[in-house]
Amino acid sequence: MKTLLTTLAIASVIVFTGCNTIKGAGQDVSKAGHAVSNTAEKTQDKIRK
């Protein structure tokens, strides 16, 4: 019984850590996308001048 509880506890930690990691990766990708968009807008503004 202890082994089962220990295994479930470890599995839960791994699952929750994975969710946080994926969420963090999604935020990083989002920030990179915003940076690319901002750079493209600045370049477009310079071309129009």
Q: DSSP label at 49?
A: -
Q: What is the dihedral of CA 20, 22, 27, 31, to 10 degrees?
A: 140
Q: HSE (CB half, 13 Å, CA atoms) of 6?
A: 3
pLDDT at 1: 79
pLDDT per residue as tens digits for the range 1-49: 788 888 888 887 777 777 677 777 788 889 899 999 999 999 999 999 8
Rounded CA separation 24/31 (Å):
11
End-to-end CA distance of the chain: 73
